[in-house]
Amino acid sequence: MKHTPLALLIGGLVALAAVAASAQGPVSAQGVAGMSATHVTKSGITAEQRAALAEKLGRIDAIMRAAEADSANTMSAEKRQWMREALYRLPLAQVKTIRPSGNVRATTEAIDRAAVQAKALGSSSSDLVYFPFTPCRFIDTRNVGGKITGARGFDFFVTGATYGGAAACNLLTLVGVPTGNEIAAIALNMTIVDTSTAASPGFATARPAGATGSTALVNWTVSSAGFQLGNAAVVSTDQGTATDELEIFTSGAVHAIVDFNGAFAAPTATLLDCLWVSSTTPMPTANTYYTRTNTCSAAYLLTGGGCWFSSVGNQQHMIVNSPALADLERTWFCGGKSDVANDTLHGYARCCRIPGR
């Protein structure tokens, strides 16, 4: 399978001039699929977030094209994928700090520096968050639906099994959103197969459902049952009232295979995921100092803790995090003594993490 350069189909995010592509035209390195002006914006994604995503994708495309021009360092497919997804995760403010460079190493170091400085979610009002997941097949018209001619819509509220893909390819579960309204764009790979009944040359594209732009994502120049060609893209989704979020448009009858790699979605405020870690230390001897430590698991960080005694005698205790402890971020230390024999020292740690989608 031949992979042509990544296309960014970012139409519908902002009012950009549509780049029309004929069947004879080359695959665009930065295509734009326009969105119908009659669509009403859904509440899940704001116009500011859509504009910020369009700007970020354009900047990422420029950074990637410059890095891929480095003649001294040819990037592997894995390196290229890592670099793109690392840039997707950065808020727009950090992407702006990275200057396009014709040097792979310099670009990698710039991404690492920006990632250290980045806020976890960026601006809650303007940044969309990229949620990568293990690639899964959402559409395979060889199994369901047959060849596509013209436009065919696809609904994110169902699983890939509906469209010939995998039942586990469930966007609402993978991204962790209640509806498709929160998904602004999808990162995908699309492959066309079998152009034997399609006029040549021809083209196919992925775009928001109801869009009118036809910038090519994949072009073919041969009418053949064995022909196949793939390309990757970030495609904005329909933000109107239609049932379908995504649409594939072809100039002739071809099979389409679409794998989803990740999605851009609106950030959401979520409660911390917290738990208590507690334990006790027997205190058989009166007026003897005893200690108790409680440690959070590797997936959690310490946010607080405490200790107390079982009896009602005259106790003394202190609550400290000793510098000698190996893991200050996860361990709570308590110490104390009691004037009552056979007392018990109780200790606890409060362990929390930020839940992911």
Backbone angles phi, psi at 191, to 5 degrees: -125, 135
State the Rg of the chain over Cα.
Answer: 27
Report the pLDDT value the prediction gives residue 319, as an integer from 0 to 100.
60
Which has the minimum average pLDDT: 42-51, 73-82, 104-113, 286-295?
A: 42-51
Which tens digit of pLDDT belongs to each residue from 12-38? 343 222 222 222 233 333 232 333 333
| pLDDT bucket at 120, cuts 50 / 70 / 90 | low
User: For a pLDDT cut of 70, what percent of the chain falls above it?
Assistant: 80
User: Which of 157, 133, 347, 356 is closest to 246 using CA atoms?
Assistant: 157
Which has the minimum average pLDDT: 37-41, 64-68, 101-105, 312-316?
A: 37-41
Report the pLDDT value the prediction gives residue 22, as an integer from 0 to 100.
28
| Residue labelled with tokens 């970030």 | 234
Burial class (CB in 10 A: 0-12, 13-18, 19+), 89: buried
Sorted by sequence, the CB contacts under 8 Å of residue 6 that are 6+ apart come out as 29, 61, 64, 84, 231, 232, 233
Report the pLDDT value the prediction gives residue 8, as an integer from 0 to 100.
42
Which tens digit of pLDDT belongs to each residue from 226-244? 999 999 999 988 877 778 9
| Bond preceding residue 323 cis, omega within 30 of 0 | no
Instruction: Tell me how far apart the alpha carbons of residues 186 and 235 are, in angstroms, rounded to a whole number.
Output: 5
Residue 305: what residue type?
Answer: G
CA distances from residue 255 to 149, 164, 240 in whole angstroms, order as listed: 9, 11, 27
Fold of the domain spanning 273-353 = Immunoglobulin-like (2.60.40)
CA distances from residue 267 to 53, 77, 106, 128, 218 in whole angstroms, order as listed: 13, 29, 30, 6, 32
User: For a pLDDT cut of 90, what percent of the chain falls above it?
Assistant: 45
| Portions of the chain given CATH number 2.60.40 | 273-353
- Structure-derived torsion over alpha carbons of residues 332, 338, 344, 348, reported in degrees to the nearest 10: -20
> Cβ distance 80 to 65 under 8 Å?
no
> Cβ distance 137 to 131 under 8 Å?
no
Residue of 15 and 193 predicted with greater confidence = 193
